[in-house]
Copies of this chain bind each other. A is one copy, B any other.
Amino acid sequence: MALLVEKTSSGREYKVKDMSQADFGRLEIELAEVEMPGLMSSRAEFGPSQPFKGAKITGSLHMTIQTAVLIETLTALGADDHAAAAIARDSAAVFAWKGETLQEYWWCTERALDWGPSGGPDLIVDDGGDTTLLIHEGVKAEEEFAKTGKVPDPASTDNAEFQIVLAIIRDGLKVDPNKYTKMKERIVGVSEETTTGVKRLYQMQANGALLFPAINVNDSVTKSKFDNLYGCRHSLPDGLMRATDVMIAGKVGVVCGYGDVGKGCAAAMKQGGARVIVTEIDPICALQAVMEGFQVLPLEDVVSIADIFVTTTGNKDIIMLHHMRKMKNNAVVCNIGHFDNEIDMHGLETFPGVKRTTIKPQTDRWEFPDTRTGIIVLAEGRLMNLGCATGHPSFVMSCSFTNQVIAQIELWKEKGSGKYEKKVYVLPKHLDEKVAALHLGKLGAKLTKLSKDQADYVSLPVEGPYKPAHYRY
């Protein structure tokens, strides 16, 4: 593979698909800025003091318009703008999904870590944990190499993606056998925003393998509730309407799972005039569903009467072939939970004689040969709000990304203080509250101020945090 780094006229390195799109991108960025008040308020509040003065930030994030606003916020706060270039380069990941995907993706991830002789990065902003993974695997390989002279062997794994990671590290060893080791010494910390990435960090912590402090922003209230509940309440109907134009009112909708995502989906369909039935394994969530007027039944009991099925569980094997075989003609089946294995796509694809008709991209009708009835599957079973709509709206991403900014500021501010050890921390409550506060002005909301007297009465600091860690909101 020979991917060449390009340079802007000012000498900044990058690799994107088509630089001629930059003007249109700028237009979209300007629109997004208005909808991302948390980031813009951060610029206004923290910009003057330049908290990232001297900091080199990198990371591996899905490159979207909203991500661009995040990057420009970090640079506005003083971060070395190589950071921006680094992530801009990562936009290669976008087109990488078509074609040499994984190769290109990891090439970008690795390039983003290369700060040349000045050394870097200092901080990592992660979304999925791949940059962190690469460094940890790199350090492991370098230690092994130092001890035994052994280099990583891509053939040692069946996992196609991990083969690429090992190849990158192996090739790096030849150039500099201490590259990742030096890097981890320098890194102040990482902030990570996905469930998957956070899970990996906790495993590293449990194994004593974590090389630098990590802040889990995925479990901030302003991330988890907003992303899952409000985000999906918005984007489920968006995806349904764009993909199928089906009227939601009058339909029977089944929402599999009543966690935050399921709560958002059930609310959205109820508000659209559908009758909603919930499936749940957890009695507490089931009881919550009942208290909101939703019927709670197993999928088996309702599979032949419903019109729209949505999986939100984060688990696998939720809607199986035998369910789909019993559905009404043109029932809509989609997933807004996690991977495409919430729906038995394999069973569907391999059913003898099944006929797939693509109505439009991301909207397929699968017809069974015996019954001649079909079902409509969105986004090939993958996340329908990403596949059929445009994912979460900017405002939701503003909540998530402001968590990243605040976490990065915290890590950098405390870099020498010893406050953060090589462990995983949730964002401190007062910073979670700060993220919310940064969004209120744009929405016209004004807070009430706690008086000293009141604060004493309830044993709280005047400036917060106002709730105990276990508070459920």
Given known pairs A242-B242, A314-B458, A451-B317, the reply for A436 and B286 (CB within 8 Å) is: yes
Q: Does A146 contact B (CB under 8 A)?
A: no
Given known pairs A295-B444, A451-B317, the reply for A437 and B283 (CB within 8 Å) is: yes
A residues 255-287 near B (Cβ < 8 Å) are 260, 270-276, 279-287
Are A284 and B433 touching (Cβ within 8 A)?
A: yes
Looking at the assembled complex, report how far the CB atom of A218 sits from the nearest CB atom of chain B, in whole angstroms. 12
Question: CA–CA, A469 to B426, complex, Å?
Answer: 14
Are B448 and A298 touching (Cβ within 8 A)?
A: yes
A386 contact set on B, CB distance < 8 A: none
A139 contact set on B, CB distance < 8 A: none
Main secondary structure of the interface of A (DSSP, over half): mixed
Copies in the complex: 4
Are B250 and A290 touching (Cβ within 8 A)?
A: yes
Q: Does A246 contact B (CB under 8 A)?
A: yes
Contact flags A316-349 to B (C-beta < 8 A → 1, else 0): 1100000000000110000000000000000000
Chain A positions near chain B (C-beta within 8 angstroms): 27-28, 31, 34-35, 219, 221-222, 224-226, 230, 233-234, 237-238, 241-242, 245-252, 260, 270-276, 279-299, 301, 305, 314-317, 329-330, 357, 359, 365, 376, 389-390, 393-396, 432-434, 436-437, 439-440, 443-451, 453-454, 457-458, 464, 466-467, 469-470, 472-473
The contact sample of 22 A-B pairs, CB cut-off 8 A, is A28-B359, A31-B376, A35-B330, A225-B472, A230-B291, A233-B249, A234-B248, A245-B393, A249-B290, A249-B395, A250-B291, A250-B443, A275-B294, A281-B447, A282-B464, A285-B473, A296-B440, A296-B445, A296-B446, A299-B448, A314-B458, A316-B454
